[in-house]
Amino acid sequence: MIKISTLFILLTVFFCESQELDSLKVLTGKDWKISHWFENDSIYFLPKEKPDINYEGLSESKILKKKKKNLFGEKIRFKKNGIVLYTNNVFCPVGEPKKRVHSYKLERNLITIDFEITKWPWRENKVVREKKKFKIVEWNNNKLKIIKCQ
């Protein structure tokens, strides 16, 4: 009986597939909203809600309000090839800095972000471009928390 049990366990281990958590899929599988810009020490990414496009039974003013809510705000998307898509639609950009993310690199529990920022007024201030390394401290489908490495 012991030989049969041992043989069964060995065959199970040998023929069964293991399931791995694809952490890159967690990062690249959705649009995120960002709590702070990358010049801060601690940053939270939360999933960006899908736009609500059900306008049935709404008045024209409520439809416009819903469309405005869907359009405005920050959205960041990490692509698998290392490119980051970042958009920030604001109603009035006066005083708002211009932000851009060029790329990211994911290594084990670290993520390196290449970004730039230009403070308002844009023509008078130069572009500051940096690469910063962050440690991933919380990682799941509902939240991503990174802190700056020292």
pLDDT in tens, 12-48: 666 655 544 566 777 888 889 998 888 889 999 999 8
pLDDT in tens, 41-79: 999 999 988 888 888 999 999 999 888 888 888 899 999
Contact by Cβ (8 Å): 130, 118: no
pLDDT in tens, 79-136: 988 899 998 888 788 888 889 999 999 888 899 999 999 998 888 889 999 999 999 9
pTM value is 0.71
- Whether residue 2 is predicted with pLDDT greater than 80 in this model: the reply is no
Percentage of the chain exceeding pLDDT 90? 33
Contacts of 84 (CB under 8 A, 6+ apart): 76, 77, 78, 101, 102, 103, 104, 113
Query: Which residues are paired to 73 by β-bridges?
Result: 89
d(CA 104, CA 124): 28
